[in-house]
Amino acid sequence: MSEFYLGILGGGQLGSMLSLAAKKLGIKTIVYCNDADAPAQNFCDEFIFGEYNDNLCLEDFVEKAKVITYEFENIPYLTLDEINKKKPVLPKPSINRLIQHRLAEKDFINKLNIRTTQYVLIKKKSDLDSLSDLLPGILKTTTMGYDGKGQYLIKEIKGVDTLNIDFSKEYILEKIVKLKKEISIIITRFGNNSYEIYEPIENTHEDQILKYSKIPAEISDNILNQSKDWAVSIAEELKFIGTLCIEFFIDRNDNLFVNEIAPRVHNSGHLTINAYNVSQFENHVRAVCSLEKIPLKKLSNAKMINLIGSQIEPYRQNIRLKDNEFFFDYLKKEIKDKRKMGHITILI
């Protein structure tokens, strides 16, 4: 029998951790990425460097893989759709198309009677003129944003000109929520009403980049139950197969809002590697490769710290870790400002 290869589009740290999880389950991985230095090549079995619209280059990848998944949402929909005609792509390409677009994503969530922030589509600069009710707000590109990229804080309309915003792109303007906390829920869905859900994770961002995650989240039972219910509704409605993450805001009056959906494994779930019997990565591989679903068991409370830019340096100098501390180096070639370079999980 030929070996089972899981194909992964995208070669960042999420691809690395998916590859490690697959290896543990005896599944080989082939990663395809448009970055020749993609860190996942250090962890997968085979690596192909190519552009996401290079059909010729994609051929070998598609040929080898039995099932194909993706580790970031900005893979072109057309690529996923073409591949899906030859081999199963999970989660389904249509889910990716929906979630790639902030407006479609938020409209979808609201249709389920789930609360999001207030938002309006902005097609041209003058669309902002009548929207002072949504200020202070954040202007976000409708597509291709991550880690706060493509976002502008708008305090008042007259300040917009100083921000050098490229209005040839589409945006949404979103009202700022006075945040008390941010949490996320990670859920892996295997089929109809068949899923494993992790407890809410409390997240702290610095400069719109995730810095700390911890369990348990310090939240009320109401918020705990509501966030889990909403996560299940979203996963079921999407008929999602695999791991997804729902990011939430909690405002100062304890209202819960969905911020966004990540149709993939998520940075806030790195602590599941050490704190649970089955990590978000292993669960994703299990779900997309139709393996057995194992009941989740939490092993420990935990805190995860992202190492951003040069914060990785001391850890690379063989820093002495305690028994309850786990360091992961993403093996990125170049240290860059604001780049996620690694993380530490501390079991507490």
CA distances from residue 235 to 220, 341, 345 in whole angstroms, order as listed: 23, 30, 27
Site string for ligand ADP, 200-239 (x = CB under 6 A): -----x--x-------------------------------
Q: Give kind and range of the element (H or E) at residue 139.
A: strand 137-141
CB of 136: closest distance to ligand ADP in angstroms?
9
Contact positions with ligand ADP (CB under 6 A) in 11-50: none
Q: Please, which residue, 82 or 147, has the CB nearer to ligand ADP? A: 147
Enumerate residues 95-124 that contact ligand ADP by CB under 6 A.
117
Would you state the structure tokens that stand for residue 318, as one six-digit string?
């063989």
Least separation in angstroms between residue 153's CB and ligand ADP is 9
Looking at residues 294 to 323 of the shown chain, list those that interact with ligand ADP (rule: CB under 6 A): none
d(CA 52, CA 273): 29
> Considering beta carbons, is residue 140 or 189 the nearer one to ligand ADP?
140
Residue with tokens 């899981």: 6
Q: How far apart are the first and last CA of the chain?
A: 44
Query: Among the candidate windows 8-16, 123-131, 175-183, 279-287, which touches ligand ADP by CB under 6 A?
Result: 175-183
Joined tokens for residue 150: 């493509």
Q: How far is CA 197 from CA 89, 258, 323, in A?
A: 22, 17, 27
Of residues 71, 174, 196, 282, which one binds ligand ADP by CB under 6 A? 174
Q: Which is nearer to ligand ADP, 144 or 319 (CB)?
A: 144
Task: Please tell me what DSSP assigns to residue 112.
Answer: T
The binder of ligand ADP chosen from 54, 147, 170, 329 (CB under 6 A): 147
Question: Taking contact as CB under 6 A, which single stretch among the options 11-19, 74-82, 139-147, 266-274 is the one that binds ligand ADP?
Answer: 139-147
Q: Which stretch binds ligand ADP (CB under 6 A): 62-70, 138-146, 227-235, 274-282?
A: 138-146
Interface with ligand ADP, residue 170, by CB under 6 A: no
Binding residues among 246-265 for ligand ADP as defined by CB under 6 A:
247, 259-260
What's the min distance (Å) between Cβ of 332 and ligand ADP? 19
Let me know if 155 is exposed, middle or buried by CB neighbors in 10 A (0-12, 13-18, 19+).
exposed
Q: Are 252 and 180 in contact (CB under 8 A)?
A: yes
Using CB under 6 A as the criterion, what x/- string covers residues 176-205 for binding ligand ADP? Answer: xx-x--x----------------------x
CB of 293 to ligand ADP, least distance (A): 29
CA 236 to chain centroid, in Å, comes to: 18
Q: How far is CA 322 from CA 20, 108, 112, 301, 326, in A?
A: 23, 45, 45, 16, 8
CB nearer to ligand ADP: pick between 179 and 321: 179
Count the Cβ atoms, other than its own, within 10 Å of residue 197.
Answer: 16
Residue 340, by phi and psi: left (phi above 0), alpha (psi -120 to 50) or beta?
beta
Interacting residues with ligand ADP (CB under 6 A): 117, 138, 145-148, 174, 176-177, 179, 182, 205, 208, 247, 259-260
